[in-house]
Amino acid sequence: DAMVIQNPRYQVTQFGKPVTLSCSQTLNHNVMYWYQQKSSQAPKLLFHYYDKDFNNEADTPDNFQSRRPNTSFCFLDIRSPGLGDAAMYLCATEGDGNYEQYFGPGTRLTVT
């Protein structure tokens, strides 16, 4: 089945140690999103790609970066994780003009 895959599902990192989360999709969607979701809160959009065009939300910390090497893959890099970055990170995709986002299962990040 076509889907959105996130790896790893659980990630533990140390305070200040860079970490990369990955997302892949078999839907061939041209738009990919990264959200941060803290416990019992709504997802918060960090940035999105429209094809290779990167769009950063105004309040996304500089500590968060993203790469999209091709249509299928997108990466979230956290350069120096702090305790406040512990959260679920959701990847989502959308086909152009579809107006419907498909979410991956998320990566739960723990910062020790």
Partner 1 sequence: AQTVTQSQPEMSVQEAETVTLSCTYDTSESNYYLFWYKQPPSRQMILVIRQEAYKQQNATENRFSVNFQKAAKSFSLKISDSQLGDTAMYFCAFMSIQGAQKLVFGQGTRLTINP
Applying CB under 8 A, the residues found at the interface with partner 1 are 31, 40-43, 45, 48, 50, 55, 90, 94, 99-106
Q: How far is the CB of 14 from partner 1 (least distance, A)?
A: 24
Q: Which is nearer to partner 1, 26 or 80 (CB)?
A: 26
SS (H, E, C) 13-27: ECCCCCEEEEEEECC
**Per-residue exposure over 38-66, b if at least 16 CB sit within 10 Å of its own CB, e if not:** eeeeebebbbbbeeeeeeeeeebeeebbb
Rounded to whole angstroms, the Cα distance separating 17 from 13 reads: 6
Question: In whole angstroms, what separates CA 40 from the centre of its chain?
Answer: 18
Q: How far is the CB of 22 from partner 1 (least distance, A)?
A: 16
Q: Which is nearer to partner 1, 40 or 70 (CB)?
A: 40
Q: Which is nearer to partner 1, 78 or 92 (CB)?
A: 92
Q: How far is the CB of 42 from partner 1 (least distance, A)?
A: 4
Q: Which is nearer to partner 1, 43 or 81 (CB)?
A: 43
Beta bridge partners, 7, equal 22
Q: How far is the CB of 61 from partner 1 (least distance, A)?
A: 18
